Amino acid sequence: MKTIIKLLLGIFIFFISINSLTAQKQERLSAIEIKLMELAKSNPGLIEKVDLSVTNVSLQEFIRGLGVSNNLNISIDPGLKLSITNNFSNVTVMDIILFLVEKYDLEINFIGSIMSFSQYSIPLPEPVIYVPKRLAITYNSASDILGLDLKDDSLYLVTKEITRLSQKNVVHAPYLGQKVVNGFIQNISFENSLEKFAFANDLKITKTEDNSYLIEKKDAETNVPVGKSEKNNKKGNYQSINTGGADFNIKVDNNLLTVDAVNIPILDIISGVSFETGKNYFLFSEPKGNATLKIKNVSYDQFLSYLLNGTDFTFRKEGEIYLMGDRNLEGLRATKVVQLQNRTIDKVIDFIPVDLKKGVEIKTFPDLNSFILSGSLPRIVEIETFIRDIDRVVPVIMIEVILVDFKKNRTVSTGINAGLKDAPVTSGGKISPGIDFTFSASSINNLISIFNGFGVFNLGKVTPNFYLSIKALEEQGILNTRSTPKLATLNGNEAKMSIGKTEYYLEISNNVIGSQNPQNIISQQYKSVNADLSLTIKPIVSGDDQITLDIRVQQSDFTARINPNAPPGTVKRDFQSLIRVKNEEMIILGGLEEESTSDTGSGLPLLSRIPVLKWIFSSRINSKSKSKLNIFIKPTIIY
């Protein structure tokens, strides 16, 4: 029956809420309509009839179009990003605006003759100002009369008000701070009134030698409140705490705690241990959940750290009071600047575990090479400890590189060339070292005339433009290049070096512009081609000063051009290795070696292939080249 009544009550409240919202909306639309009618008196465009049909048009553009076509002053919020599809026939502009306001939940602010369209937002309710309840407590200092009229009031606030009015200290046990008390007492003495108040709320009043009044739970020895115990006068003895069916033990010896609890509410553990140790605490919010712990000989601060670690709660000590509550509460947040000593803050934030960063805001401050941490103090301490652990001296590795590039080539050119020139040539050339000599027609005729007249031989004469070239050359070359660059980098970072050269070639482009009167535009541009030797080394230092080197060598070089105007060809070689060496130990990288052989010739068919005769009836070039690159690497650790 009760369930049905609750259900009917919920449905009734729901319908009342719907009706209330509908009434508010209708009232808002009526107010906008009244303002539009008033504005129409000075802006007749609002009552003009229009015919409009749009499909998937931006709401901003649609309203702006209405304003332009009907001379209306309109401002539109750029945040209105809606598309509409509508067909209006013979309706006034004002009716269209009212339709849009209702359909798309818009708001219009009228400023003179300007209409400003924006998205309607439900106004926030006015905040309710909390007025603390005034306690009905009276005290007459002359007659020492105390009067109480209490109903569901906090014992903490009641004792505080009595102490303030009477100037007599009334103190309650720590575990009674949240207790709710009731009572009506009038026109009796102060002590008698306190006794009646204690009786009405199952409490016990004890007057101390300094005229203070202590409030405790009645019959504390047998009826101990949840998670609390009466403090034992014998130092170092175990106290068994009853928690409504489950027990846990506390021992205090020289301010060191030993606690043994199994599945006990966290609030009960804090209350019991705080009472046994005499610690003052204040709860911003009540800790939730249970805990199981067995710890021995720890301080009160360590006890709280162990108990609250892994929960959403934390603590902070101010003077002699421990403040406890949610980690994000204002009173428990902390801010700290952590400066790194041995490395930069770059990328360090990515190495901090995600679980440590929960609930902590981390900002980088490059000017001081620091992190700014804001959040729960225990979490900040954990992050700071982690950062200090990884903020160690990073070794610097100096890498000495020796590049030895050895090149050797040999070319032999032999042969006899004969032919006709456009004009007579003169004899000339060299005969040492090597022979590269050209004979003119007159020189050849002189030579022929020597043989003419012997017997039946008569060779005649050659034409004036005839020539004869004899070549017998041998070229050798050896090139040994050595360079010794030095690189330095931090552990785990790459060191790069590149040595190369650039050659250029001409690129000509012809563009035709226009169709009826075409024009040719010729442009020339020099483009570059690079050939280089690049070396990349990434060192990683291990704990025993062994160094792992990730080495990559790339070498490219130019080859002959296939055409004088063509770009130079390139050949590339790539070498990659992962090795491990000792500190200051040198290694050699070889294998970047190239060897080429070429044997080309031209001459008369058949005769150019007959031994001996081929040297007379052909021209030949025989070349051989060899290049080798050796790289010596020596890493040295520098702290």
CATH number of the domain bearing residue 304? 3.55.50.30
Task: Name the band, by pLDDT with cuts 50, 70 and 90, for residue 612.
Answer: low
- 215-228 pLDDT, tens per residue? 888 754 433 333 34
328 compared with 184, residue with greater pLDDT: 184
Domain with residue 360: its CATH number is: 3.30.1370.120
Q: Taking residues 12-20, what's their average pLDDT? A: 52
In a domain, 395, yes or no: no
Centre a 10 Å sphere on the Cβ of residue 77 and count the other Cβ atoms it contains: 14
**Which range has the worst mean pLDDT, 122-136, 249-263, 311-325?**
122-136
Report residue 603: phi and psi, to 5°: 180, -170
* Encoded tokens for 204: 């016990």
Most confident range (mean pLDDT) of 103-112, 519-528, 578-587 is 578-587
The whole-number pLDDT of residue 539 equals 92
**CA separation, residue 251 to residues 235, 263, 291, 374, 615 (Å):** 9, 18, 18, 36, 114
Asked if residues 115 and 38 have their Cβ atoms less than 8 Å apart, the reply is no
C-alpha dihedral sign at 415, 416, 419, 421: positive
Burial 600-614 (b: 16+ CB within 10 A, else e): eeebeeeebeeeeeb
Asked if residues 137 and 159 have their Cβ atoms less than 8 Å apart, the reply is no
Cα gap 88→164, rounded to integer Å: 75
The whole-number pLDDT of residue 228 equals 40
SS3 (DSSP) at 101: helix
Asked if residues 356 and 349 have their Cβ atoms less than 8 Å apart, the reply is no
The whole-number pLDDT of residue 576 equals 84
Same domain, 161 and 290: no
Same domain, 604 and 486: yes
The whole-number pLDDT of residue 519 equals 62
The whole-number pLDDT of residue 538 equals 92
Same domain, 556 and 627: yes
Strand ranges across the sheet with 114-119: 73-76, 114-119, 106-111
Same domain, 486 and 634: yes
Name the amino acid, one letter, at 116: S
Residues 6+ apart with CB under 8 A from 140: none
Residues 6+ apart with CB under 8 A from 531: 500, 501, 502, 503, 556, 557, 558, 570
In a domain, 307, yes or no: yes
**Distance between terminal CA atoms of the chain?**
82
Q: Taking residues 162-190, what's their average pLDDT? A: 85
Kindly give the pairing relationship between strand 396-420 and strand 466-483. Answer: antiparallel
Report residue 468: phi and psi, to 5°: -140, 125
In a domain, 160, yes or no: yes
In a domain, 180, yes or no: yes
Asked if the peptide bond before residue 433 counts as cis, ω within 30 degrees of 0, the response is: yes
420 compared with 244, residue with greater pLDDT: 420
Q: Taking residues 531-553, what's their average pLDDT? A: 87
pLDDT > 80? residue 132 = no
Q: Where a domain ends, among 284, 299, 326?
A: 326
Q: Taking residues 63-82, what's their average pLDDT? A: 82
Tally of domains in the chain: 6
Residues 6+ apart with CB under 8 A from 17: none
* Encoded tokens for 251: 């021992």
Same domain, 585 and 483: yes
Q: Which of 64, 122, 56 is nearest to 97 (CA)?
A: 64
Percent of the chain with pLDDT over 70: 82
In a domain, 185, yes or no: yes
In a domain, 20, yes or no: no
What is the domain extent for residue 378? Answer: 331-390
Q: What is the mean pLDDT of the chain?
A: 78
Asked if residues 463 and 419 have their Cβ atoms less than 8 Å apart, the reply is no
Same domain, 487 and 625: yes
pLDDT > 60? residue 438 = yes
